[in-house]
């Protein structure tokens, strides 16, 4: 196995990856295969099975490894320091070439990832590889046990090479050209996909057969994707296209839909009937114009225009919803991060129609006039729902698809608007997400009701925010993550069921992760955020279901740093504008606990500073941003002396007074750590100090006398000083403001 880059003998380390990063990329200690190891692992599989790759894929000329190497190995997209980075070679490929078998599987898996659900990919690959290997091997148990890891490696190889991005782009264009129906390929079509792939590989004595016919528009679209991403020996010919005389080296895939009987009299009607019969999820959500996700709903153009309006109405209804971090009661257990939802237009539902009451109270977190009016209007347009008492409104909607679609579209608009408040999509290479819902989906309403009933509730009396947000509700992080997985990540039901309180993310069609996993959540706005990623999922450890869980290992900075008079400066003379090098954060397995769980490793110039579990960061930051801390009416006087601890002294030690020691002088100066524009350093240091007994103080007034006035200097939140006090009290006495009980992150 080699992790070397071929261009100029560069290695992963030369691109700024630490030893821990490389261990994670290579899945060290984990039962996983990644892009860095899949070529090696595939060779090992073939050697163990005693099969030659060329015998496994009898059709000659199907794969050209050299051409694929020159096309796809010149640009790699990876996750580094919580950011998406692109690595390009100055004069060609930047990684070693893969073998024929690895390329073939990577290309096929790319097309499957773009078109199938996760469970269907495993089903299709299992059937396909069984068909390939059974001619050469009697015992296939080993293959089936190893297959999930190899699929993981092929997806990883395709993601970092941007092959999957291209496959998804082609898949979407085929919908625009009306060459396929919306949504993922249903499981019912998996056998036809397998039949096509077996023919394509030339297995089962088909290598001389150069023509394949299918009645499935999905399989035809699948063939077009393969042609566009590397199997250019395929000629996909549509129903109305003339079939030219086949060249000996070409493979013809012919779409013949005549065998499909719909009972319709026009292409538009046939398409609508097929769409209504299609029970599959995987809806693409263009994030810059989310209402387009309902514009392809089965029906007429007028009906879809009405659905777009309803979706926008739902978006508008969510605009008055506010989200803040909130820490629910722990009941003696670990505090649970949650989110406070409030709406200034909130009102009790009061006397209204029973059906309206049930939908608004059970499908939305906070009732508002806009929700009541919208649902009332939808139900008034459908008099067939008048007998609501007999079956109940949700059962009636299930039996009335047209009414169900209107309620569903409005609900979709509301939740896409609400959940965008939690999301950072700036790290996506393509601004699109995936919804795991279907058309006319009564299950969607059922799942929403279940999430709200299990994870939502009124704000507890006696909390500091009850009076501010009268009528507000909290929603636990586990519930939010389920909603994000359902509406944005394209997660499947078995994944959503497997989420628990330790979960900090999920790998679906794309990934959604808590900001804590990226190591930068140092203010309230980012503490409530999750991040969408379409980078390599194997770079973030997870379990077999794709659930990303927090580890439990933390490590503090070994010992306090003793500061001398050489570090003393006048506080108003400290150069806060000098921007130094920030910490970096790295996602690694929790090596000492569970390698399928994550820990965040902070480093400075490559040297280890400390490790923290994502849940540790969440607990600290939720507490910091929601619990009322000590207040200070003024800052230290401009003449005050402070110990200035430069950031490069914190790698092995941390400036922290030992209050219990005889040597501690309560009158010693405060400690100031310059962290201007160092988001990750602030993240780690604030979490570290809050875990060791400090409290974040609220600065009531600015410090204009030393230039720390945001109105005057144009400072943003991330640049404002953070004041930490060693004791909890409602008001900090002025006489201790320039003593060792105060630490300033400036």
406, pLDDT greater than 70: yes
CA 103 to chain centre: 27
Strand partners, 505: 513, 548
The residue whose two tokens read 């039996």 is: 399
Long-range pairs for 360-363 at CB < 8 Å and ≥24 separation? 362/449, 362/452, 362/453, 363/411, 363/445, 363/448, 363/449, 363/452
* Local confidence band at 542 (pLDDT 50, 70, 90 cut-offs): very high
* Local confidence band at 226 (pLDDT 50, 70, 90 cut-offs): very high
Strand partners, 324: 340
- % the chain with pLDDT above 90: 40
Higher pLDDT among residues 83 and 700, named by residue: 83
139, pLDDT greater than 70: yes
- % the chain with pLDDT above 70: 78
Environment class of 606 (CB within 10 Å of its CB; exposed 0-12, middle 13-18, buried 19+):
exposed
Per-residue confidence (pLDDT) for residue 293, from 0 to 100:
92
Strand partners, 340: 324, 474
What average pLDDT does the segment 710-731 reach? 61
Name residues whose C-beta falls within 8 Å of residue 3's C-beta, 6 or more positions apart in sequence.
11, 12, 22, 25, 26, 36
CB 690 within 8 A of CB 620: yes
Per-residue confidence (pLDDT) for residue 388, from 0 to 100:
55
Lowest mean pLDDT segment, chosen from 472-486, 512-526, 586-600: 512-526
Per-residue confidence (pLDDT) for residue 285, from 0 to 100:
96
What average pLDDT does the segment 351-379 reach? 90
124, pLDDT greater than 90: yes
* Local confidence band at 499 (pLDDT 50, 70, 90 cut-offs): very high
For the chain, give percent helix, strand, coil, nearest 5: 40, 20, 40
Kindly report whether the global pTM for this prediction surpasses the value 0.85: yes
What average pLDDT does the segment 20-34 reach? 77
Lowest mean pLDDT segment, chosen from 132-141, 416-425, 571-580, 588-597: 571-580
CB 548 within 8 A of CB 506: yes
Higher pLDDT among residues 580 and 583, named by residue: 583
Strand positions, DSSP E, 370-469: 423-424, 432-435, 456-458
Q: How many alpha carbons fall within 13 Å on the CB side of residue 162?
A: 19
Lowest mean pLDDT segment, chosen from 43-57, 82-96, 309-323, 525-539: 525-539
Per-residue confidence (pLDDT) for residue 200, from 0 to 100:
95
Higher pLDDT among residues 623 and 709, named by residue: 623
Long-range pairs for 238-247 at CB < 8 Å and ≥24 separation? 238/179, 246/210, 246/211
Per-residue confidence (pLDDT) for residue 488, from 0 to 100:
97
Q: What is the pLDDT of residues 501-510, one digit of tens each?
A: 889 999 999 9
Q: What is the pLDDT of residues 436-473, one digit of tens each?
A: 999 889 999 999 999 999 998 876 554 544 434 456 88
Task: Select from 731, 736, 704, 576 the least CA-distant residue to 638.
Answer: 704
Mean pLDDT of the chain: 82
What average pLDDT does the segment 562-591 reach? 83
Higher pLDDT among residues 6 and 343, named by residue: 343
Task: Select from 454, 451, 455, 456 the least CA-distant residue to 473.
Answer: 456
Strand partners, 237: 254
What stretches of 583-634 show up as alpha helix (H) in DSSP?
614-626
Per-residue confidence (pLDDT) for residue 263, from 0 to 100:
34
Distances (CA, A) of 591 to 116, 152, 595: 33, 21, 5
Higher pLDDT among residues 271 and 304, named by residue: 304
Lowest mean pLDDT segment, chosen from 120-134, 259-273, 454-468: 259-273
């Amino acid at each position: 196995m080699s992790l070397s880059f071929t261009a100029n003998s560069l290695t992963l380390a030369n691109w700024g990856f630490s030893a821990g990063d490389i261990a994670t990329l290579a899945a060290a200690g984990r039962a996983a295969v990644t892009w860095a190891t899949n070529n090696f692992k595939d060779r090992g599989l073939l050697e163990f099975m005693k099969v030659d790759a060329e015998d496994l894929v009898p059709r000659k000329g199907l794969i050209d490894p050299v051409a694929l190497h020159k096309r796809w190995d010149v640009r790699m997209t990876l996750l580094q320091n919580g950011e998406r980075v692109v690595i390009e070679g100055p004069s060609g490929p930047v990684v070693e070439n893969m073998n024929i078998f690895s390329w073939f599987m990577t290309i096929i898996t790319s097309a499957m990832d773009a078109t199938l659900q996760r469970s269907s990919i495993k089903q299709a690959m299992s059937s396909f590889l069984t068909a390939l290997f059974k001619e050469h091997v009697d015992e296939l148990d080993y293959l089936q046990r190893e297959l999930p890891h190899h699929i993981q490696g092929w997806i990883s190889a395709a993601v970092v090479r941007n092959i999957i991005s291209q496959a998804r782009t082609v898949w979407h264009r085929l919908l625009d050209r009306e060459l396929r129906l919306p949504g993922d390929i249903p499981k019912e079509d998996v056998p036809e996909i397998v039949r096509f792939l077996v023919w394509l590989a030339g297995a089962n004595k088909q290598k001389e057969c150069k023509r394949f016919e299918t009645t499935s528009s999905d399989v035809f679209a699948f063939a077009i994707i393969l042609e566009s991403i590397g199997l250019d020996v395929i000629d996909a010919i549509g129903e109305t296209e003339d079939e030219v005389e086949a060249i000996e080296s070409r493979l013809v895939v012919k779409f013949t839909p005549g065998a499909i009987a719909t009972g319709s009299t026009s292409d538009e009607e046939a398409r609508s009937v097929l769409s209504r019969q299609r029970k599959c999820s995987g809806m693409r959500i263009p994030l810059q114009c989310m209402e387009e996700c309902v514009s392809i709903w089965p029906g007429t153009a007028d009906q879809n225009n009405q659905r777009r309006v309803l979706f926008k109405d739902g978006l508008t209804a969510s605009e008055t919803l506010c989200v803040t971090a909130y820490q629910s009661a722990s009941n003696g257990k670990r505090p649970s991060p949650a989110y406070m939802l409030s709406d200034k237009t909130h009102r009790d539902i009061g006397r209204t129609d029973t059906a309206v009451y049930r939908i608004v109270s059970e499908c939305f977190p906070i009732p508002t006039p806009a929700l009541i009016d919208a649902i009332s209007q939808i139900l008034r347009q459908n008099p067939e729902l008048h007998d609501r008492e007999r079956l109940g409104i949700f059962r009636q909607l299930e039996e009335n698809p047209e009414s169900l679609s209107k309620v569903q579209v409005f609900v979709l608009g509301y939740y896409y608007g609400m959940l965008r408040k939690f999301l950072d999509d700036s790290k996506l290479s393509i601004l699109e997400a995936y919804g795991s819902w279907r058309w006319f989906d009564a299950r969607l309403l059922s799942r929403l009701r279940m999430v709200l009933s299990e994870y939502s509730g009124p704000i507890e009396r006696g909390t500091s925010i009850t009076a501010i947000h009268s009528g507000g509700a909290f929603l636990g992080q586990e519930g939010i993550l389920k909603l994000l997985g359902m509406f944005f990540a394209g997660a499947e039901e078995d994944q959503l069921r497997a989420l628990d309180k330790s979960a900090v993310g999920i790998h679906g069609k794309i990934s959604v992760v808590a900001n804590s996993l990226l190591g930068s959540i140092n203010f309230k706005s980012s503490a409530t955020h999750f991040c969408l990623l379409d980078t390599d999922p194997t770079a973030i450890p997870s379990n077999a279901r794709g659930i990303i869980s927090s580890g439990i290992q933390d490590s503090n900075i070994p010992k306090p740093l003793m500061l001398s008079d050489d570090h003393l400066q006048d506080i108003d003379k400290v150069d806060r504008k000098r921007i130094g090098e920030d910490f970096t954060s790295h996602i690694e397995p929790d090596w000492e606990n569970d390698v399928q769980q994550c820990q965040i490793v902070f480093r400075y110039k490559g040297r280890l500073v400390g490790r923290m579990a994502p849940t540790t960061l969440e607990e600290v930051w939720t507490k910091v941003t929601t619990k009322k801390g000590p207040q200070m009416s003024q800052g230290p006087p401009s003449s005050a002396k402070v110990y200035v601890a430069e950031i490069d002294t914190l790698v092995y030690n941390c400036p922290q007074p030992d209050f219990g020691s005889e040597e501690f002088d309560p009158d010693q100066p405060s400690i100031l750590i310059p962290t201007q524009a160092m988001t990750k350093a602030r993240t780690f240091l604030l979490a570290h100090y809050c875990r060791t007994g400090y409290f974040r103080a609220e600065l009531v007034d600015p410090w204009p006398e030393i230039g720390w006035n945001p109105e005057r200097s144009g400072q943003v939140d991330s640049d404002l000083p953070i004041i930490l006090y060693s004791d909890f009290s409602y008001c900090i006495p002025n006489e201790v403001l320039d003593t060792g009980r105060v630490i300033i992150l400036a």
